[in-house]
Amino acid sequence: MKLSKLATEIAESPTFALNEEARLLRERGEAVINLGIGEPKNKTPIAAVLASGAKLTSGEVKYTPPDGLPAMKKAVIRYTEENYNRLAAPENVIVTNGAKQSLFNIFYSILNPQDEVIVIAPYWVSYPEIIKMCYGVPVIVTPEDGTFTPNFAEIERAVTSYTRAIIVNSPNNPSGAIYPPELLAKIVEFCERKGIYLICDDIYHKLTFDRNVAEPAWKFTSRDIENSHIIVVNGVAKLYGMTGFRIGWVVAPRDLVKVMTNVQAQTTSCVSPVSQAAAEGALNGMQSVVEALRLQIENNRNVVLQEMKSFNGARLIPPQGTFYALPDMRAFGTSSVDMAKFILKKALVVTVPGREFGMEGFIRLSFAGSVKDVTEGLARIRWALDPTSPNEIYVGDKKLIRDWL
């Protein structure tokens, strides 16, 4: 069988692969804890449920415009004005099947073969793969000081005549780092001056802790949406815990949105009207649900910090946002892939290898679930790796004894 060289070189999603392995273990009755997937455990906001239910009840579940329903775009425009202090026209907005399709549409629309995109490590696993799917070249910039935040000189050195875009994700998946305003200001000024697109993945922008604020890139330019090189990606998956509805959007100059609309029309045609109705309901409904989720996740983050204090060998830079932690596990002397497999086999806890995020020797932990899962999951990991931890532990109703340290 002959297959596309490009397609066969695209990496499997490590998150989905590990989740599938965990599912199979659960079906065998194993007490698996999933600290791998980035999915809040809250219920869908009632405003979203009612809005999607009303759309279903109407029976009018048909094709929608490829760039999104007018009512949904209106909700995005309102959200953009309230949260970014920018006035968007309907022509500046496209609604997509999740923020992941937003990113694909952007890269497909702006990249020619061998064009480069600056990707800052640690990065979300899909950035390099989507760029490669669009015949682009991901250029990875890894902070040299051991933190999760680069300095501007490191980014500037990576720019060449082939650089088409820089992608910024703050708060950052997987580290939880928020990029400082002075760094963002320099990146914005540089991109506007050089004519390089700045793609802002803002999917976690309100999930911040300790009164930290993830400043929007638009704050650092006087240009309006139409004349700026800033492209903003957002969606309802993380802030509202609506991962299964698959609704994202892009706010960008209208010429780019027009091309993206053509791309979407020829791939997925349009976005489900039921999902759009749900997202519209969430955006227009009571926003206290976002704050409630943020508080719950901040409490989980505090539990992680407390539990990690007694974990000998692991080092963690406290997350400032998102619902992820990226502890440095290099002291245990094994690859992150082997470590994730070992933790799943011995402790029945799903984690994600840091290699997938450009950070070998680290593992990503999601604390989006319950406090019980976070606490017990970290206790199991510590039991499996830290020789100073108790030698015995209960996993479900089974007593396990550590005999490898």
Sign of the four-CA dihedral 56, 265, 225, 235: positive
pLDDT tens-digit readout, 230-266? 999 999 999 999 999 999 999 999 999 999 999 999 9
Mean pLDDT of 352-371: 96
Residue from 156, 111, 157 nearest 138 by CA: 111
Tokens representing 179 are 């990029």
Tokens representing 114 are 């061998």
Q: Is the pLDDT of residue 393 over 80?
A: yes
Start-to-end Cα distance in the chain: 46
pLDDT at 312: 95
Q: Where in the chain are the domains?
A: 5-43+288-401, 61-284
Is the distance from CB of 218 to CB of 228 less than 8 angstroms? yes
Q: Is the pLDDT of residue 38 over 90?
A: no
pLDDT at 398: 87
The residue with tokens 């490191």 is 154
Average model confidence (pLDDT) for the chain? Answer: 96
Mean pLDDT of 4-13: 86
Is the distance from CB of 296 to CB of 331 less than 8 angstroms? no
pLDDT at 25: 85
pLDDT at 405: 84
pLDDT at 26: 84
pLDDT at 22: 80
Mean pLDDT of 13-28: 80
pLDDT at 368: 96
pLDDT at 21: 80
Q: Is the pLDDT of residue 313 over 90?
A: yes
pLDDT at 14: 73
CA 393/CA 31 separation, integer angstroms: 13
pLDDT at 237: 97
pLDDT at 23: 83
When pLDDT is cut at 50, 70 and 90, the band that residue 286 belongs to is very high
The CATH classification number of 61-284 equals 3.40.640.10
* CATH topology identical between 5-43+288-401 and 61-284: no
Q: Is the pLDDT of residue 402 over 80?
A: yes
pLDDT at 89: 98
- Concatenating the DSSP letter of every residue in 41-84 gives -SPPPHHHHHHHHHHHHHT------TT--HHHHHHHHHHHHHHH
Write the CB contacts of 46 (distance below 8 Å, at least 6 apart in sequence): 285
- Per residue in 110-143, is it b (16+ CB within 10 Å) or e — as a string? bbeeebbbbbbbbbbbbbbbbbbbbebbbbebeb
CA 176/CA 186 separation, integer angstroms: 21
pLDDT tens-digit readout, 293-306? 999 999 999 999 99
pLDDT tens-digit readout, 68-114? 999 999 999 999 999 999 999 999 999 999 999 999 999 999 999 99
pLDDT at 58: 96
Q: Which CATH architecture has domain 5-43+288-401?
A: Alpha-Beta Complex (3.90)
Q: Is the pLDDT of residue 17 over 80?
A: no
Q: Is the pLDDT of residue 164 over 90?
A: yes
pTM exceeding the 0.85 threshold for the entire prediction: yes
CA 344/CA 31 separation, integer angstroms: 11
Write the CB contacts of 377 (distance below 8 Å, at least 6 apart in sequence): 33, 35, 349, 365
